[in-house]
Every structure is written in structure tokens, then in C-alpha cells.
Copies of this chain bind each other. A is one copy, B any other.
Amino acid sequence: MATKAELTRARLLNGAMASFAEHGFHGTGTRHIAAAAGMSPAAVYVHYSSKEELLYEITRAGHRELLTIVEAAAADDDADAPSRLKTLVCDFVVYHAQHRESASVVNYELTKLTPEHLAEVVGLRHGIDAAIRRVLTDGVRDGVFHIGDIAMTTTAVASLAVDVSRWFRDGRSRSPHEVGDYFASLALRMVGAPQDPN
């Protein structure tokens, strides 16, 4: 069971995430975070030594979730490369659509981290790229993908998903899963996998 301190920290992280998403890291003050968390400004620094520490925890947690999502899809040994790529892209896109605010903070505020924290997060990003690359490489080995440049195709697949947090809005015509399925079919085309016209 979560302790009271853990629950308080979780509330503060949510408040900080919402504030960073609305005002940007630099535009966020202690008072924004406290108000969003329903706490007093003094309480913030009881639990966190700095605004950067809050950004670091949010960014690390978000990247760990993303890494878990893409690694689960990449490591499914019972499925062939096209099925794994489809699941990976769909889940990656759905996450960015459903967690639009936090994903924006996680992807676009990185440069405000300290060098040590940034290095750790860059390591997690390399893990995400490695999971995508593993699926692409397996598909080429199996003769079902035809890819000229695996590194650039990895980046392009990630771009389709990451950019969702910039443009997606709830209540527009497509649901997160509809975007995920469609972008998965585009990714399969990008790697030269046989596809029905979509």
C-alpha cells in the first residue's frame, strides 16, 4: 500500500506535469504546481528539492513506460516481424494520443534536464530505438521487410508516433486506436512489407 508521502509525491508529479504542459518548464512556478496539486507552495519543496527534479521524475517515468511498451511488442517471440511492428507502432501511437500532455513534456522539455539526468533519459531513448531496430532487422533477415537504411527508418517510425502528441486532440474525428491502426499500416508500407491498399 502506498504511504501518505508516496501519495503526496504522486499528486505533486501530476500537478507539475499539468503545469509544465500548460506553461512550459520555464513558465511554471512553484505556485502553479502547488495549485494544480491542491497543496500549499511550501509543501512542494518538502518533497522535491527543485523544479528540475520534478521534470526529471516525470521524464524518466514516461520514458520507462514507453520503453516497456515497445520492448513488449519487440520481444514477442511468437509473432512474426510484421505483426510485432504493427503492435509496436499501434501501442506507441495510442500512448502518445492518450497521454498527450505528459508525452509533450517528456519529449519536448528534455533540454531543461541537468546533464546527468539528460544522459540517463538519452539511455532510455536508445533502448526505445533499439527495440524498433530489432523488429526491423528481424523483418529484413526474414525477407519480409525491404529497407535501405535501418537507422533512418527507425527514426521515421518513431517520428510518426512522437509527433502525435503535438497534433492529436480528443474529440476530433479519430480515436487513439484508429490513429494507431492506420499509422501501423503506414509503417508496414514504409518498411516495404506487402500490404493491402489501406
Pick the contact of A148: B107, B173, B198 (CB < 8 A).
Answer: B198
Question: Which residues of B lie under 8 Å from residue A190 when comparing CB positions?
Answer: 186, 189-190
Q: B197 contacts A192, CB within 8 Å?
A: yes
CA distance A174 to B155 in the complex (A): 12
Give the interface size class of chain A.
Answer: 35 or more
Closest to A110 in B: B166
* CA distance in complex: A147, B159 (Å): 20
> Taking each of A164, A174, A189, which has the highest tally of chain B beta carbons within 10 Å of its own beta carbon?
A189
Closest partner residue, chain B, to A26 (CB atom): B27
Is A160 on the interface with B (CB-CB < 8 A)? yes
Residues of B within 8 A of A156 (CB): 160, 183, 186
Instruction: State whether B166 touches A108 (Cβ < 8 A).
Output: yes
A148: chain B residues at CB < 8 Å are 182, 185, 197-198
Closest residue of chain B to A21 (Cβ to Cβ) is B111
CB-defined contacts of A12 to chain B, threshold 8 Å: none
Chain B nearest CB: distance from A193 CB in Å? 10
| Chain B nearest Cβ from A26, distance in angstroms | 3
Give the complex CA separation of A192 and B195 in angstroms.
9
Confirm or deny: A153 has a beta carbon within 8 angstroms of a beta carbon on chain B: yes
- CB contacts (< 8 Å) of A167 on chain B: these are 155, 159
- B25→A166 contact, CB < 8 A: no
Select from chain B the residue with minimum beta-carbon distance to A193. B189
**A61 sits at the interface (CB 8 A):** no
What is the interface of chain A, defined by CB distance below 8 A to chain B?
23-28, 107-108, 112, 146-149, 151-153, 155-156, 159-160, 162-164, 166-167, 173-174, 179, 182-183, 185-186, 189-190, 192, 195, 197-198
Task: With A159-B164, A189-B190 given, name 8 new contacts (CB 8 A).
Answer: A108-B166, A148-B185, A148-B197, A148-B198, A149-B182, A156-B183, A192-B197, A192-B198
